[in-house]
Amino acid sequence: MSGSSHGHTPAAWTGVTIAFIGFCISGAFTVMAKPMGFWAGMVVIALGGVVGMGMRAAGLGQAPKRPARAQSHAQTQG
């Protein structure tokens, strides 16, 4: 897996870290039977996704891979 560039960006690490903290918050409040705390953790999880996407849009994520376009037959004969 280290050969691929999947998730090796600041945007990915930040988004996943925030979401993990949200999971921990939700899990703790689930055990304590506190629904408001659970939902607060769910908001933090969603915030992790928003922050990750925002950082990617700001250029801190992996650039999207574009499929290789085949040259048209007319261009190769010219």
Q: If you ran DSSP here, which 8-state letter would residue 9 be given? A: S
Mean of pLDDT values over 41-61:
93
Residue 3 has pLDDT above 70, yes or no: no
Cα 14-52-49 angle, rounded to 5 deg: 105
pTM of the model: 0.74
d(CA 32, CA 15): 26
- Dist CA 21 CA 42 (whole Å): 10
Instruction: Return the higher-pLDDT residue of 2 and 17.
Output: 17
Q: Render pLDDT for 10-24 as a digit per residue (tens, 0 to 9).
A: 888 999 999 999 999
For the chain, what are the domain ranges? 9-56
Whether the CB-CB separation of 42 and 26 falls below 8 Å is answered with yes
